[in-house]
């Protein structure tokens, strides 16, 4: 069975203090927890340039039927509110892949528990067109654990800590915008106290230099 160890083109985690003039914040909703066996049912992303949101991408995604003949399991509908009726006329991932690649480009990706989203996108792109999703990324979950060890680290709890309102939790665009606002708060904290928040040092892929 395929494992994360075979995602050889996957990008690397960046310290939250890394200065990024342009970046993507994104979130996905999925039919389950396995990037190999489950599928994306919603993806949302915003592009940020010099501190301003300059673009948005959002779509529901119609997955193939699961072994039980379902588009989306009941438990996922309970969490997200996304049901089969909302997905039946949505585009497939194959139909949105090129537009999503163009939107994300080669920019760093920010997300909460972003490895989850990265792994689903990696598998989805590879499955439909062989594209290697290799963008580097910043994980606000990892940063939260290092900077705020005394709190719970779900996106909802982090948003509450920072007084950030999430109007539609577990929907991709609302979670994306909430993650963006929490990222700004966390990065400010990291810059003030000098905490190292990346799982590994920043590394330029082409040269092997460490910074």
The CA radius of gyration of the chain, in Å to the nearest whole number, is 17
Whether 50 is catalytic is: no
Cβ pair 40, 30 in contact under 8 A: yes
Name, in order, each residue with C-beta under 8 angstroms of 112's C-beta and a sequence gap of 6 or more.
27, 139, 140, 141, 155, 158, 175, 179, 182
The Cβ of residue 93 has, within 10 Å, a number of other Cβ atoms equal to 24
Of the candidates 50, 112, 132, 170, the residue annotated as catalytic is: 170
Strand order in the sheet with 52-60: 52-60, 40-49, 22-30, 108-111, 137-139
Cβ pair 193, 125 in contact under 8 A: no
Rounded to the nearest 5 percent, the helix, strand and coil shares of the chain are 35, 20, 45
Q: Which residue has the tokens 């577990």?
A: 170
Question: What positions carry a catalytic annotation?
Answer: 170
């Amino acid at each position: 069975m395929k494992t994360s160890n075979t995602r050889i083109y996957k990008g690397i985690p960046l310290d939250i203090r890394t200065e990024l003039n342009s970046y993507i914040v994104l979130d996905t909703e999925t039919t389950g927890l396995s990037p190999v066996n489950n599928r994306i049912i919603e993806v949302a992303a915003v592009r940020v340039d010099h501190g301003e949101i300059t673009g948005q991408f959002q779509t529901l995604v119609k997955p193939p039927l699961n072994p039980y003949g379902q588009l989306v399991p009941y438990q996922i509908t309970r969490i997200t509110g996304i049901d089969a009726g909302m997905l039946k006329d949505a585009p497939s991932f194959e139909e949105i892949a090129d537009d999503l690649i163009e939107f994300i480009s080669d920019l760093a990706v920010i997300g909460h528990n972003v490895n989850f989203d990265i792994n689903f996108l990696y598998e989805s792109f590879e499955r439909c067109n062989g594209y290697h999703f290799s963008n580097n990324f910043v994980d606000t979950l990892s940063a939260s654990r290092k900077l705020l060890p005394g709190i719970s680290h779900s996106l909802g709890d982090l948003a509450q800590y920072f007084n950030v309102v999430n109007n539609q939790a577990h929907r991709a665009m609302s979670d994306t915008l909430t993650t963006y606002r929490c990222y700004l708060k966390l990065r400010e904290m990291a810059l003030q106290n000098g905490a190292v928040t990346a799982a590994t040092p920043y590394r330029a892929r082409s040269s092997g230099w460490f910074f």
